Amino acid sequence: MDITTIGGIVAAIGLILLGQALEGGHVGSILQATAALIIFGGTLGAVMVAFPKKDFVRGMKLAKDVFTEKKHDVSGVTARLVEYATIARRDGVLALEGKLKEVEDPFLRRALQFVVDGVDASVTRDTLEAAIDAEFEENVIGAKVWESAGGYAPTIGILGAVLGLIHVMENLSDPSKLGGGIATAFVATVYGVGSANILFLPFANKLKRKLGLEKERKTLIAEGVLSIQEGVNPRVLEEKLRALSGEEAPPAGADKRAA
């Protein structure tokens, strides 16, 4: 469970409603089914027009990743790659074949398979990089579905408010209904601005970041496996992977001894 997503939504909506309640407003006055129908219906429709069906579905599916947490265990990956590098250096890359079945991560397994199969290094690099890029590009479209929802919602909110105001203006002769009518119209703005800024745009941002972290992790694996294929010294590999993953280097003294 992604604690900042759940916590953030609860905090944002909770504190806004709390403030509203403390101010003496009724929470009920901002619950309006017709405004919701206009804003969320209009936004849904606009997003459907804006994306092919496949991308739209991908965006909907990706929504669950906003709420779940994947472990990006970068140090674990680094440690494992260094271990494989040590084995490969000592016993040759074919010795990694036995390790293959215990590898759970499908991308790491796929990359190691190339090494074990003795595929040419430049083909391995091209294929792994193409796979990383293609997967990222495809998934990022899913994040853009939410970003575009965050772009359309506030303007559809304004549209809903203006529609409400038109309705109010036609009934100016009955001033007693004026305030309530305008209030109703404003709820559309609240729904449009609120859903965009508390849900849709933050969702898009979190998805992009998570996809970026996953891409970094796979790039680390690809670099590591390619270095193993080249027979790089395990200690140098560790230093390189630490640098790539932005981890602090061990203190110089420790480095010294390792050398």
203 binds a copy of itself (CB under 8 A): yes
Can you read off the two tokens belonging to residue 2? 């992604």
By CB atoms closer than 10 A (0-12, 13-18, 19+), residue 118 is exposed
One-letter identity of residue 99:
K
Stretch that binds a copy of itself, among 77-85, 88-96, 150-158 (CB under 8 A): 150-158
Which of 88, 93, 142, 154: binder of a copy of itself (CB under 8 A)? 154
Which of 62, 78, 82, 210: binder of a copy of itself (CB under 8 A)? 210
x/- string (CB under 8 A) for a copy of itself, residues 215-244?
A: ---------------------x--xx-xxx
Nearest distance in Å: CB 67, a copy of itself? 10
Which of 73, 117, 121, 231: binder of a copy of itself (CB under 8 A)? 117
Could you give the CA distance from residue 190 to residue 203 in angstroms, rounded to a whole number?
18
Nearest distance in Å: CB 87, a copy of itself? 18
Nearest distance in Å: CB 195, a copy of itself? 10
163 binds a copy of itself (CB under 8 A): yes
121 binds a copy of itself (CB under 8 A): no
146 binds a copy of itself (CB under 8 A): no
Residue-wise burial string across 177-209, b where 16 or more C-beta atoms lie within 10 A, e elsewhere: eeeebeebbbbbbbbbebbbebbbbbbbebbbe
x/- string (CB under 8 A) for a copy of itself, residues 164-183?
A: xxxxxxxxxx--x-xxx-xx
51 binds a copy of itself (CB under 8 A): yes
x/- string (CB under 8 A) for a copy of itself, residues 54-93?
A: -xx---------x---------------------------
Stretch that binds a copy of itself, among 5-13, 78-86, 87-95 (CB under 8 A): 5-13
Site size toward a copy of itself (CB under 8 A) is 123
Of the candidates 73, 76, 74, 85, the residue with the CA atom closest to the CA atom of residue 225: 85
Of the candidates 53, 47, 25, the residue with the CA atom closest to the CA atom of residue 190: 25
Which of 83, 92, 213, 231: binder of a copy of itself (CB under 8 A)? 213
